[in-house]
Structure 1
Amino acid sequence: MRMIPSFLLFGLFAVPALTADPALTTLFVVKDQTDDQGGCMSKIDTLQTWLTESRTLVASGLKAISDAQDSSATTYNVAKRYLAAHFQADPSNADALAAVQGSLTQVSDFLSGKTTLSSTPRLYCSDTWLIKLARDDVAWDSDGDVVMQEDDGKVSAPIAIEDVDLYQSELWRKQKNGKVVATKNVPYWSADLKEYIFDVNYNGKTYCTSSAKNLGATQDQTIPSTITLCPSAFTRSAAVATLGAKTPTAGMAIGDILPRGATLYHELFHLVLGTAETPDLTYSWVEQQNYLKKATTIPKGDDENYGQLVRRNPESYVFFSVGYWYFQQTTWSLDDTSKRWAFQSGAGELVKI
């Protein structure tokens, strides 16, 4: 999930190939000695598992593309169906296939250390690393000091956050009649980063505490970018504890086999590709399929059609990668490895390859 819109972009830089996948604390700056202020001390082992699962899932997604391009592969037809069902992408739709493959490759390259972001991202295990402030609170600078401004009489006085030129676009908007009105955003201060981010008020709560459905958020307003995993992501009963911990059955919905670690996998697409490039179209398989039925329709206010938006949607990659990972396994093949469990229709079915 995106916490807020992005107005800063970051780049990917190639680095020499590594012989081993980088550690969690190489990919991210993590507070591993405390649980306070977004710390992850009690969650480190879980995060290590989720990181491994993310690497496994992105590899499965890329394997599906590879299989769909190899007509001699025994999994060729199923892989093509997966790509068509999830993205309306197959070898005959070069642009769609390139978009899907490109997104997966960029995430894979980040996880392998082949590429890095312009500044090492932060990973937090709650949103307590942010302090909610009022618009008219005194502004702080990048050193955490009060920002002073001279008036016409050359008298220096503190300036309010809402009056700082840099933050005008986040806190004010001009209506068609020319009137300037306040946006719904409020400032949040990060003592770690010495920067503000701007987001809605959440009715006096915070992103993580406002709803148990809020599992994670990525933002790239600051440098570095951040991923915040909410406490509910680690305890969510609707998700499977680990990848593959649930035995597939006929008719089982794809949503019922998603692991808790899929939250991190989802957020990695926002992080690596940028929040502006990965709008959250939907978290529902059924809604995704409805959008694909009108794939060439351009929604009002957008400049891309629904098919393109699905291919930008991080949760679509979660469905795709988890489903194809299950298809690759022979654990549940009932002693017949020519039959595998597939979820290309959104529900479990035993298919012959």
Structure 2
Amino acid sequence: MRLNFYSWLGLLGLSNLVAGKALDNVFNVKSGTTKGGCDSYRSGQVNENLDAYFEEAQKIIKTASDAFGKYNTDVQVQKLGKTFFGITPNSQQTGTNSNEDANLLKHVQDWFKDLDTYAQGGSGQKIPLYCNSDWLEETTTVYDSSGKAKNNQVVSDDKAYGKTVPQLKKKTWVAFWSDDLKEYYFGPPYTSNPPTYCGDNGNIAVVTPMSTGKESLSLTLCPGGFFKKPNTLEALDDSSSDIGHSLQSLETRSLSIVHELVHACKGPDDTPDINAWGPKAAIKPKIKGQPNPLWPGNTDDFINKRRVAYTASDAILTAQATNPRQPTENTPESYAWAALAVYLAENGAKMDYSTGLARPLGEPLTSPAPPRRFRKDAMVIAKDFVA
């Protein structure tokens, strides 16, 4: 059952979440309404409740972190650990099946703990958060750390910041300057005019590594891609769900925040998105008589960097069903969907989403079956989130 929009609002009580401004404890939120300013999205109005989305993300993460900490005594968590991370429990379901599984479980538990700490503002470092990408401007101008332009130099030749960027030399990347931060972001070019991340269709949110080092990051949410993303719910349904209800249909805007918090907490270099798993994942595993389950159709899609991916949760479910050791333990989507599934198991109707579809909690541990068909309308073009 899919409740109407106002039912979702009433069930969660968004007005109660806005108090406290927890978002400001974790990020330096850009004020104003231009150059990435977020004021228009913090008013508490419909589609403009960034604070409520963030506090819901906090709730989802904490629920999952606590639950995965009880893995040895929680059969439901064991089922979700198998689905989203390939962790196999022992036959008595009192722990893990092997040392490899035990190590993988510890990795996932540690990441959830770190993610919870980060989401609560415990990282000791607040990165900037923007609500549009126009705070970055593509440029070839060389600026020093005070923002002063240098004459007769181009970015690809500049030695400022002590950073070597081979992609700039090869002209496959471009430089974007932030007058706010007095830093560059180096990454792939965008096709919009002016060229910005949010200007390209389909982009939702991005954690960008800035030029002064690994610890210098920023988070951008797109007005159209995040705040107006289609087929997403304003808030979680805490009360009811029908048998067969898909996990994918319960995606909320807060889930995109969970995804980006993984990037921010662990760093974009160490948290590849599904679309960045690489040629090995793009080619294997294959199901006999069917297209590749992660990149349907011609594998040239990956080589040409179109990076066509099946919808996120379906890609993970299919990967684990066909190759339980698919490297999902560092993938933000795995943590986001697993956290949502845990939350839904512990709240409201208390359903089991370990196969991607709602079923009673007492159902046995099974691996999800691969999708039976690949619908073109279910495919998304997975843009480059990070370099």
Q: Counterpart in 1 of 2:183?
A: 195
**Measured at CA, do residues 191 and 326 of structure 1 come closer, stay the same or move farther in structure 2, by a change above 3 Å?**
same
Shift of residue 162 of structure 1?
1.9
Gaps of 5+ in 2: 1-19, 90-94, 276-310, 364-387
In the other structure, the counterpart of 2:317 is: 289
TM-superposed CA distance for 1:170, in Å, is 4.3
1:95 aligns with 2:103: yes
Q: Does 1:280 align with 2:284?
A: no
Q: Any stretches of 5+ residues in structure 1 without a counterpart?
A: 1-20, 71-75, 149-157, 174-181, 297-305, 333-339
* 1:28–1:121 contact (8 Å) kept in structure 2: yes
Partner of 2:116: 108
What does 1:13-24 correspond to in 2, within 5 Å? 23-24=22-23
Give the one of 51, 56, 59 matched to 1:56: 59
Aligned length: 286
Identity %: 22
- Among 318, 339, 360, the alignment partner of 1:350 is 360
Instruction: Please tell me whether the aligned partners of residues 253 and 348 of structure 1 are also in contact (alpha carbons under 8 angstroms).
Output: yes
Match of 1:217 in 2: 206
Q: How far off is 1:345 after superposition?
A: 0.6
Q: Which residue is 2:28 aligned to?
A: 29
What is the CA deviation profile of residues 179-214 of structure 1, one whole-angstrom value per residue up to 9, with x for unaligned ones? Answer: xxx231111110101111112222243221211x21
Answering whether residue 218 of structure 2 is matched by residue 226 of structure 1, we say: yes
Between stretches 121-130 and 217-226, larger displacement belongs to 217-226
Q: Secondary structure at the match of 1:159?
A: strand
* 2:177 counterpart of 1:185: no
After superposition, where does 1:144-293 map in structure 2 within 5 Å? 144-148=147-151, 158-165=152-159, 166=162, 168-172=164-168, 182-204=170-192, 205-211=195-201, 213-222=202-211, 224-231=216-223, 232-244=225-237, 247-282=240-275, 284-293=312-321
* 2:328 pairs with one of 310, 316, 339: 310
Aligned to 1:177: none
Distance 1:247 1:270 in 2: 31
Distance (whole Å) between structure 2 residues aligned to residue 40 and residue 228 of structure 1: 10
Q: CA deviation at 1:294?
A: 5.1
Question: Do 2:246 and 2:356's aligned partners in 1 also have CA atoms closer than 8 Å?
Answer: yes
| C-alpha contact 2:317 2:355 (8 A) present in aligned 1 | no
Corresponding residue for residue 85 of structure 1: 83
Query: CA-to-partner distance for each residue in 1:296-347, whole Å, 9 max, x for gaps?
Result: 7xxxxxxxxx53x211110111111111111101x33xxxxxxx31211111
* Contact map agreement 1:170 1:198 (CA 8 A) in 2: no
Match of 2:9 in 1: none
Q: TM-score, normalised by structure 1?
A: 0.75
Question: Greater CA radius of gyration, 1 or 2?
Answer: 1
Q: What amino acid is aligned across from residue 228 of structure 1 in structure 2?
A: T
Please state whether the residue corresponding to 1:128 is helix, strand or coil: coil
For each residue in 1:55-80, what CA deviation from the matched residue of structure 2 results, as whole angstroms up to 9, or x when unmatched? 1111121233133222xxxxx22221
State whether structure 2 residue 335 is matched by structure 1 residue 320.
no
State which of 24, 38, 46 in structure 2 corresponds to 1:40: 38
Q: Are residues 1:121 and 2:131 paired? A: no
Contact 1:240 1:246 in 2 (8 A): no
C-alpha separation between the residues in 2 aligned to 1:170 and 1:216?
25
SS in 2 for 1:202: coil
Partner SS, residue 132 of structure 1: strand
* Stretch deviating more after TM superposition (285-294 or 186-195): 285-294
Does 2:68 match 1:68?
no
Q: Can you list the C-alpha shifts for 1:240-286, whole angstroms capped at 9, x where unaligned?
A: 11122784222222111011111111100000101111000256222
Are the equivalent residues in 1 in contact too, given 2:244–2:358 (CA < 8 A)? yes
Query: Is contact 1:22–1:112 with CA below 8 Å preserved after alignment?
Result: no
Amino acid in the other structure paired with 1:169: V
Give the CA deviation at 1:295: 4.0
**3-state SS of paired residue (2:142):** coil
Q: 2:166, 2:137 → 1: CA distance? A: 17
Local SS of the residue matching 2:124: strand
User: 1:40 corresponds to which letter in structure 2?
Assistant: C
Equivalent residues of 2:317, 2:356 under 8 A apart: no
CA offset at residue 221 of structure 1? 2.6
* Secondary structure at the counterpart of residue 251 of structure 1: coil
- In structure 2, what is the equivalent of residue 4 of structure 1? none
Q: Is the 8 A contact 2:163 2:211 kept in 1?
A: no
Query: 2:123 and 2:21 mapped to 1: Cα distance?
Result: 11
Once residues 228 and 60 of structure 1 are traced to their aligned partners in structure 2, the CA distance between those partners, rounded to angstroms, is: 25
Q: For 1:277 and 1:193, how far apart are their aligned partners in 2?
A: 23
Q: Distance in 2 between matches of 1:35 and 1:84?
A: 44
Asked if the contact 1:87–1:311 (Cα under 8 Å) also holds between the matched residues in 2, the reply is yes
Task: Check conservation: 2:351, 2:358, Cα contact below 8 A.
Answer: yes
